[in-house]
Structure 1
Amino acid sequence: MTGALYFLALLSSTMASARVGLWGQGRNGTGDWEGKRCTCDAFLPSSTFPVKDLVVIEQTAVEITHKLELEMGKLETYESKLTAYAEKIVNLTAEIERMEKNPDSYTEAHLQDVKVEIKQVEALIVELQASIQGSTTVLESLRVQVNAMVVTLTKLEKTHDKNLVLVTRREYTNIQLQLEECERRHQELFNPNIGSCAHTGIIRVSKPFVSQLNAHLNSGYKYGGWGKDSKPVHGSESMYWYAGYSSPSIVDIKLYADYKNLILRNNFQHHNLQSGWTGTGNNFIVRDNTLYYQVNNPFSMAKLNFTSMKYDYRVVPKASSRFSYSHSYSQGFDFAADESGLWVTYASEESGGRLILAKINEPSFGIEQERQTSVYKPGVTNAFMVCGVLYAVRTVDIQTEEIFYKYDTNTKRESYVSISFERFQETFANLDYNPTDQKLYMYNNGYYVNYHLWFNHTTKATDESPALLS
Structure 2
Amino acid sequence: MKLLQLCALLIVAHQGASSPGCVCEFKNLEKPFPHDQLRTVEDSASTCNEKYKQQNLQDIDVLLLALEHRMPQLEAMVWELEREDDGDLYGAVSLQVIHNEQVEVLKLIQQLSNSTVGSQLLNTDTERKLQEMKEEMRDLQTYDSMQVVKRDQANTRLKRDLDQCQNGQPRPAPLTQPPQGNCPLGRMVNITGPRITSVAPGSNAYGAWGRDAKPEAGKESWYWLVMLTASNAFAHYVRRFSSLSALIVGASRPGNVQISPSNPTTNTIQGPNAVLYEEALYYGCYNKDAICRFNLTDLSVTSVQLPKGTRFNSKSNFCHTGHTVCYPYTDLDLATDESGVWVIYTTSENFGNLILSKVELGKEPTLGQTWHTSLYKQAVTNTFVACGILYATRYVSAGTEEIFYAFDTTTGLERYDVGIYMQKMSANIMSLNYSPVDHMLYVYGDGKMVSYQVEFE
| Partner Cα distance (1:198, 1:190) in 2 | 22
* TM-fit CA distance, 1:210: 3.5
> What amino acid is aligned across from residue 175 of structure 1 in structure 2?
Q
1:339-369 residue CA offsets vs partner (Å, 9 max, x unmatched): 1221110000001110000001011311111
* TM-fit CA distance, 1:437: 0.6
The within-5 A match list for 1:224-303 is 224-246=207-229, 247-266=232-251, 267-275=253-261, 276-303=266-293
> What amino acid is aligned across from residue 179 of structure 1 in structure 2?
N
Identical residues among aligned pairs (%): 29
* TM-fit CA distance, 1:381: 0.6
The within-5 A match list for 1:23-38 is none
> What amino acid is aligned across from residue 431 of structure 1 in structure 2?
L
* TM-fit CA distance, 1:430: 0.9
| Structure 1 residue ranges (4+ consecutive) displaced by more than 4 angstroms after TM superposition | 167-173, 181-191
Provide the residue aligned with 1:445 in structure 2: 446
Corresponding position: 1:201 with 2:191? no
How many residues align? The count is 292
Structure 1 portions without partners, runs of 5+: 1-125, 140-166, 457-470
Provide the residue aligned with 1:320 in structure 2: 311
- 2:259–2:294 CA contact under 8 A, matched in 1: no
Larger Rg: 2
The within-5 A match list for 1:54-453 is 171=92, 174-180=95-101, 183=104, 197-214=183-200, 216=201, 218-219=202-203, 221-246=204-229, 247-266=232-251, 267-275=253-261, 276-318=266-308, 319-321=310-312, 322-326=315-319, 327-363=326-362, 364-416=364-416, 417-453=418-454
1:67-97 residue CA offsets vs partner (Å, 9 max, x unmatched): xxxxxxxxxxxxxxxxxxxxxxxxxxxxxxx
TM-score for the superposition, normalised by structure 1: 0.57
* TM-fit CA distance, 1:300: 1.2
Q: RMSD of the alignment, in Å?
A: 3.1
| Partner Cα distance (2:286, 2:329) in 1 | 9
| Partner Cα distance (1:310, 1:186) in 2 | 45
| Partner Cα distance (1:189, 1:445) in 2 | 37
* TM-fit CA distance, 1:412: 1.5
Please state which structure has a larger fraction of its residues in helix: 1
| Partner Cα distance (1:255, 1:187) in 2 | 30
Bigger shift: residues 324-333 or 377-386: 324-333
1:296 match: secondary structure = coil
Bigger shift: residues 205-214 or 401-410: 205-214
- 1:384–1:432 CA contact under 8 A, matched in 2: yes
* TM-fit CA distance, 1:385: 0.5
* TM-fit CA distance, 1:181: 6.1
* TM-fit CA distance, 1:172: 5.4
Query: Which has the higher relative contact order, 1 or 2, with Cα contacts under 8 A spaced 6 or more apart?
Result: 2
* TM-fit CA distance, 1:187: 7.4
Bigger shift: residues 176-185 or 231-240: 176-185
| Partner Cα distance (1:431, 1:399) in 2 | 16
1:429-464 residue CA offsets vs partner (Å, 9 max, x unmatched): 1100000111100012212200011112xxxxxxxx
> What amino acid is aligned across from residue 382 of structure 1 in structure 2?
N
- 2:196–2:452 CA contact under 8 A, matched in 1: no
Bigger shift: residues 273-282 or 376-385: 273-282
Distance 1:335 1:310, change over 3 A: same
| Partner Cα distance (2:389, 2:355) in 1 | 13
- 1:173–1:263 CA contact under 8 A, matched in 2: no
Distance 1:454 1:171, change over 3 A: same
- 1:282–1:328 CA contact under 8 A, matched in 2: no
